[in-house]
Copies of this chain bind each other. A is one copy, B any other.
């Protein structure tokens, strides 16, 4: 009985040791592969040169624009040059909204005494009448205030939404979420009370002179009920607010001649490496190729596109042969329609494709801090067990949370969706504004993001997730 016990213990111990050695070897090899990924990313990657081209040779890439088409052609050609197993364009109809000539605005403290202020039409807004609109301004801190004020105080006026982003939020995306309803639904709601236009404080934590555009919706309003909507820079918003306190009868004037055209055809750009043993399991990594028109879209989301392309390039470069199919998707029209993401998921469902994992980079090209995940708990636990492998690269954040707008439509009860989470502090200084430009992207920060994404894709491919 005792001997039996000793034998049993010894066998158990041996099994345990073998198990440890195996885990050790796997960890070692993973450590080495990830080190290789970071080394290649920091010395031989293509992200930064690609982004330079997208930003400086092409520029802002609003859906339906010539630049968006140039970006499709350029990234398709670059993916073609990587020797992937398949590269293709996936057609999708997208909205075509055009800003027209630069907007113009001022406020008038007494007849003839005017102060020009920087504004930008919100994406999707209607134009003002050709001579602009001019009226008294009513400042509010949010949509709910309209109810209290009522039609009597709003009718015929311009509503000025001035609730700032909350500076005490550590994650600036939370501060953005707490404000963006003013931009998205502000015009629709103010129109119901008879406002003739709206001005929204830019979604920017910094006080500066850049107005920030972004998408908006008129909901179910009829064409005749739509009112023009523009964003004003944070500095000008502060100035206007102060001036209104001194003189509530200030008049605001603005003029914009933006226009919505019929939808046009555009494309998602897709490339893949076929999996060697589970080709039917698909891992998607992507960003969105369209951008707003004011800057060159370097952070939003040129960075995410070139990082995603580079994930495939780097995995090839280190000689890794994926077991599963790894696909890069550059989505079209995230900013004002999400048509690319929606179409990609529709086609995937139509073809009965089995997507096990999606990773999007759409939070800027800043120093990566980690990921947030949206998927089954068991998959999240598995991913969390890899966290230590990222420690040497100062990647600490592995949390449940959102992923990315474009991969969102792939959501079901099995897939895990993830978002790269770079440092968020500077993001809204540039987001949707004229200063979202290449010189504000740091090469190493961009490359570290790429390496972090490639490392996670490598681990998901090697060990799999819920099918």
Contacts and interface: CB of A to CB of B under 8 A. Distances in A.
Given A367-B367, A396-B396, A429-B442, A170 B448 contact: yes
Contacts of A38: 168, 170
Interface string A201-230: 000011000000000000000000000000
Interface string A367-384: 101000000000000000
Contacts of A392: 170
Interface string A336-371: 000000000000000000000000000000010100
A392 B396 CA distance: 12
A426 interface: yes
Given A367-B367, A423-B423, A442-B429, A394 B397 contact: yes
24 contacts: A38-B168, A38-B170, A39-B168, A42-B167, A43-B167, A167-B444, A170-B392, A170-B393, A170-B394, A171-B394, A172-B444, A205-B444, A367-B367, A367-B423, A367-B425, A394-B396, A394-B397, A396-B396, A396-B397, A425-B442, A425-B444, A425-B448, A426-B444, A429-B442
Interface of A: 38-39, 42-43, 167-168, 170-172, 205-206, 367, 369, 392-394, 396-397, 423, 425-426, 429, 442-445, 448
A21 to B, nearest CB: 28
A43 B164 CA distance: 12
A445 B426 CA distance: 8
Nearest to A170: B393
Top 6 closest pairs, chain A to chain B, by CB: A396-B396, A425-B444, A42-B167, A39-B168, A367-B423, A425-B445
Contacts of A423: 367, 423
Contacts of A205: 444
Contact of A442 (B168, B369, B426, B443): B426
Given A394-B397, A429-B442, A445-B425, A168 B42 contact: yes
Contacts of A171: 394
Contacts of A206: 443
Contacts of A448: 170, 425
A442 B424 CA distance: 12
Of A43, A167, A367, A394, the most chain B CB neighbours within 10 A belong to A394
A296 to B, nearest CB: 19
A306 B245 CA distance: 34
Of A43, A393, A426, A448, the most chain B CB neighbours within 10 A belong to A426
Contacts of A397: 394, 396
A366 to B, nearest CB: 8
Given A206-B443, A369-B394, A396-B396, A43 B425 contact: no
Of A43, A168, A397, the most chain B CB neighbours within 10 A belong to A168
Contacts of A442: 425-426, 429
A367 B397 CA distance: 15
Given A170-B393, A425-B442, 12 more contacts: A38-B170, A39-B168, A43-B168, A167-B444, A170-B394, A170-B448, A171-B394, A367-B367, A425-B444, A425-B448, A426-B442, A426-B444
Contacts of A172: 444
A36 to B, nearest CB: 10
A396 B397 CA distance: 9
Contacts of A39: 168
A429 to B, nearest CB: 7
Of A429, A443, A445, the most chain B CB neighbours within 10 A belong to A443
Contacts of A170: 38, 392-394, 448
Nearest to A447: B167
A194 B170 CA distance: 57
A205 B42 CA distance: 11
A271 B355 CA distance: 61
A124 to B, nearest CB: 30
A284 B392 CA distance: 30
Contacts of A426: 442, 444-445
Of A38, A43, A167, A206, the most chain B CB neighbours within 10 A belong to A167
